[in-house]
């Protein structure tokens, strides 16, 4: 087993929480993990990404080679496309539909969606909307993780456990909200047949 995931977004959007859940779950399952992240200047509203590699064998490079990502999971649609060179031929794209606009030349939303839809394996999730509807837009990242969990070879149990571990110092309410967000995201995946078939 060998899985390469690129997480992408804008500095401050919280992709590292997703990474932390994946890392913790993988370690719980006794797998090898390498996860690189961006600290420093780009965290001030710039483009950021994290490379997550999970394997049952030793992992060498901290960076995923181009053309080797099984999944790009993005909390923002333009940031999803920035990492297309890393995508495997039959790899998956999962993204929030909500743009984060902090530049004057941000493209048209529809142009972004059109580009994403050129790839056969894509899921555009209204994660921010779903998160708002259950109480807090901040858990959009867990909605997305829930959707993507269908294509991530980690057990649902260990992902849920990891969420609990990560938020253990927070209130019961926050833990529940994150678990609910994950479950809502997972429901989105169930509607997509080829995604479910991947499980």
Partner 1 sequence: MKSLLLGNEALAQGSIDAGLSGVYAYPGTPSTEITEYIQKSKLAKELNIHTTWSVNEKTAMEAALGMSYVGKRSMVVMKHVGLNVASDVFMNMAVSGVNGGLVVVVADDPSMHSSQNEQDSRFYGKFAMIPILEPSNQQEAYDSMLYAFDLSEEVKLPVLLRMVTRLSHSRAGIVLRKRRGPNDINLPTDTSRFALLPMNARKQFDLLVNKQDALIEYSEKSNLNSLKKGKNRGVGILACGIAHNYVMENIGDEETDYSILKISQYPLPKEKVKALYDHCDEILVVEDGYPIVEELLHNYFDEDDKIKGKLSGDLPRTGELNPNIVGRSLGLFQNKMAPIPSVVTPRPPQLCEGCGHTDLFNAINELIPVIGDKNVFGDIGCYALGALPPLGTINTLIDMGASITMAKGAADAGLENAIAVIGDSTFTHSGMTGLLDAVYENTPITVIISDNSAVAMTGAQESTAVGRLHKICLGIGVHPDHLKTIVPLKKNHEENVEILRNELKYKGVSVIISERPCVRLSRDQKEQIKARIAALN
Is 124 in contact with 97 (CB distance < 8 Å)? Answer: yes
Residues binding partner 1: number (CB under 8 A): 49
Q: Which region, judged by CB under 8 A, interacts with partner 1, from 111-119, 136-144, 150-158, 172-180?
A: 111-119
Closest approach of partner 1 to the CB of residue 192, in Å: 23
Residue 106 binds to partner 1 (criterion: CB under 8 A):
yes
- Shorter beta-carbon distance to partner 1: residue 134 or 161: 161
Residue 91 binds to partner 1 (criterion: CB under 8 A):
no
Residue 105 binds to partner 1 (criterion: CB under 8 A):
yes
Instruction: Give the whole-angstrom CA distance, residue 84 versus residue 88.
Output: 9
For 66-72, the CB contacts below 8 A with 24+ separation are 68/4, 69/4, 69/5, 69/6, 70/3, 70/4, 70/5, 70/151, 71/3, 71/4, 71/5, 71/6, 71/148, 71/151, 71/152, 72/5, 72/6, 72/8
Residue 138 binds to partner 1 (criterion: CB under 8 A):
no
Question: Which positions touch partner 1 (CB under 8 A)?
Answer: 10-11, 23-24, 27, 32-47, 51, 57-67, 78-79, 81-82, 84-87, 102-103, 105-107, 111-112, 115
């Amino acid at each position: 087993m060998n899985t390469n995931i690129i997480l992408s977004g804008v500095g401050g959007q919280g992709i590292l929480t997703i990474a932390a859940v994946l890392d913790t779950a993988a370690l719980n399952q006794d797998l090898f993990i390498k996860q690189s992240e961006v600290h420093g200047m780009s965290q001030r509203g710039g483009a950021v990404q994290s490379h997550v590699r999970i394997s049952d064998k030793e992992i060498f490079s901290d960076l995923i080679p181009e053309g080797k990502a099984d999944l790009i999971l993005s909390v923002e649609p333009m940031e999803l496309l920035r990492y297309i060179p890393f995508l495997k031929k039959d790899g998956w794209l999962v993204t929030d539909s909500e743009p984060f606009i902090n530049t004057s030349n941000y493209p048209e939303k529809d142009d972004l969606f059109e580009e994403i839809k050129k790839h056969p394996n894509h899921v555009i999730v209204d994660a921010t909307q779903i998160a708002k509807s259950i109480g807090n837009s901040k858990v959009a990242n867990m909605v997305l993780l829930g959707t993507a969990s269908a294509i991530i070879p980690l057990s649902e149990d260990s992902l849920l456990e990891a969420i609990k571990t990560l938020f253990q110092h927070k209130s019961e309410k926050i833990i529940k909200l994150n678990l609910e967000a994950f479950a809502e995201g997972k429901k989105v995946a169930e509607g997509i047949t080829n995604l479910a078939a991947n499980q």
